[in-house]
Amino acid sequence: MPGSTVVIMDLPVRHPEPAPLVRGRHDAFAAAFRSIRTAIIMTDPTLPDNPIVFANDAFLQLTGYASHDVVGRNCRFLQGPETSAETVEHLRRGIAARGDVSAEILNYRQDGTTFWNAVSITPVLDDIGAVALFVGTLADVTAARERQRADRQAEQDLTARNRELESALDVQHLLVAEIDHRTKNNLQMVSAMLTLQAMSIPDPELRRTLQEMLERVDALGLVHKRLYELSQRTRFDVADFIHELLDTILGASGRRDIVVDQRLNAVVIGADQAAAVALILNEVLTNAIKHGFPSGRHGSLTVVLAAKGDRCIITIADDGVGLPTEKAVGPTFGTTLVETLARHLHAVIAWTRAQPGTVFTLDFPIKVAASS
Ligand SMILES: Nc1ncnc2c1ncn2[C@@H]1O[C@H](COP(=O)(O)OP(=O)(O)OP(=O)(O)O)[C@@H](O)[C@H]1O
Ligand SMILES: [Mg+2]
């Protein structure tokens, strides 16, 4: 390699002959050491202060020194104020123990700039087993260390960001739970006010209307109770709800002569569809009990819930008296409410006369939000 330092020239005067390792037929090894891309130095522990006796081109390039600057000196000149004393001590102990030793150490170039040096020191033994030389290989690992540091930093940043997001999500969940809780409480208050008001109204027809309004508010209260209890607040389990609503409506009606058959498959809809579905079911179920089975008439009520593709289909069939043949004069509130809410759900609804009774079908597209 042009300009490379010949080992023989670097050897101290005490060695008039070239070191055995690089002499005669070993010249090929010497040439290889000189020109290899790995930075290599050799030190002679038999000389005072274990000085460098050989430094290859790669070492000189890495450190910025000339060969005559380094040969004859102990390699501590590579250390500087920021070099870890602990690492130096680790290397020193390894050398003193005449064993292999390696470390990553902060070294200084001739121009004062620093680099991280992955150094590995190996003793070379002579014929009688004494340490004749130490061979040190050096590698500039500054970029790799910087990358590692940057990766560690990025990982720490990511962990911190995740923690922030998690706690923000916790706060959001708490807020949603709190809003559900308050809505439920407010609906209970509305319910209590309607009950009080109903008690003070002498007109039985008006009192009945108020009572029905109260039942609608209760159905909404049930929706919010369910949403509040659920961990996933963006989704609403229809089967669970129907089950509870039937219990509530039948319980309130005091009717024990109506047998209920629930065929409920698991269907989950979006929470923002829940109130509309709940109110429709409340109207239809109330109608079936109230109109389908006037007092003295017993029978059965079948509720079927299923998903077909991305649609939810609910069928409520009673074997009661059936829809009147005479059309009611003017729109009634219950039917208007069902139709309005059905439009909101983009639902298809139908009342069919059965033999006997009435079948109501609600068929709407499921809108499920991402899980919360
Ligand atoms: N399952 C049913 N069986 C028999 N008749 C029914 C059934 N569902 C509804 N009807 C009839 O349809 C009518 C209209 O029902 P709708 O719910 O609109 O009014 P309502 O129940 O009379 O009063 P509200 O407005 O308080 O609900 C009822 O009055 C009843 O005659
Ligand atoms: Mg009604």
Look up residue 278 and give its two tokens. 């709940």
CA 324, chain centre distance (Å):
57
- Where b means 16+ CB within 10 Å and e means fewer, 138-173 reads bbbbbeeeeeeeeeeeeeeeeeeeeeeeeeeeeeee
Average pLDDT taken over every residue of the chain: 87
Give the pLDDT band (50/70/90) at residue 369. low
- Please tell me the residue having the least CA distance from ligand 1 atom 27: 334
Look up residue 246 and give its two tokens. 């039937």
The answer, yes or no, to whether residue 19 has pLDDT greater than 60, is: no
- Please tell me the residue having the least CA distance from ligand 1 atom 9: 287
Q: What's the confidence (pLDDT) of residue 11? A: 37
- Tell me which of 28 and 88 has the higher pLDDT: 88
Pocket test of ligand 1: the residue of 209, 284, 291 to mutate, having most ligand atoms within 8 Å of its CB, is 291
Query: Would the CB of 318 count as within 6 Å of ligand 1?
Result: yes
The answer, yes or no, to whether residue 10 has pLDDT greater than 50, is: no
Residue 260: which of 239, 243, 278 has the closest Cα?
Answer: 243
In tens, the pLDDT along 235-287 reads 889 999 999 999 999 988 889 999 999 999 999 999 889 999 999 999 999 99
Pocket test of ligand 1: the residue of 332, 341, 359 to mutate, having most ligand atoms within 8 Å of its CB, is 332
- Among 176-180, 321-325, 356-360, the minimum mean pLDDT is found in 176-180
CB 307 within 8 A of CB 241: no
Query: What are the distances in angstroms from CA 324 to CA 74, 291, 292?
Result: 111, 10, 10
Query: Would the CB of 358 count as within 6 Å of ligand 1?
Result: yes
Q: d(Cα 306, Cα 71) in Å, to the nearest integer?
A: 88
Cα(225) to centroid of ligand 1, in Å?
Answer: 27
Give the pLDDT band (50/70/90) at residue 7. very low
In tens, the pLDDT along 127-163 reads 898 999 999 999 999 999 999 999 999 999 999 999 9
Residue 70: which of 1, 117, 140, 9 has the closest Cα?
Answer: 9
Q: Regarding beta strands 258-264 and 299-308, do their DSSP bridges make them parallel or antiparallel, or are they unpaired? A: parallel
Q: What's the confidence (pLDDT) of residue 16? A: 38
- Tell me which of 369 and 61 has the higher pLDDT: 61
Q: d(Cα 241, Cα 75) in Å, to the nearest integer?
A: 80
Which value, in Å, is the radius of gyration of the alpha carbons in the chain?
44
Highest mean pLDDT: which range of 97-101, 273-277, 346-350: 346-350
Q: d(Cα 143, Cα 210) in Å, to the nearest integer?
A: 78
In tens, the pLDDT along 31-44 reads 877 788 899 999 99
Q: What's the confidence (pLDDT) of residue 5? A: 28
Query: What are the distances in angstroms from CA 363 to CA 264, 269, 298, 309?
Result: 15, 12, 28, 12
Cα(10) to centroid of ligand 1, in Å?
Answer: 111
CB 125 within 8 A of CB 131: yes
Domains annotated on the chain, with CATH: 7-140 (3.30.450.20), 159-365 (3.30.565.10)
- Please tell me the residue having the least CA distance from ligand 1 atom 17: 334
Residue 292 CA, closest ligand 1 atom number = 3
- Please tell me the residue having the least CA distance from ligand 1 atom 26: 334
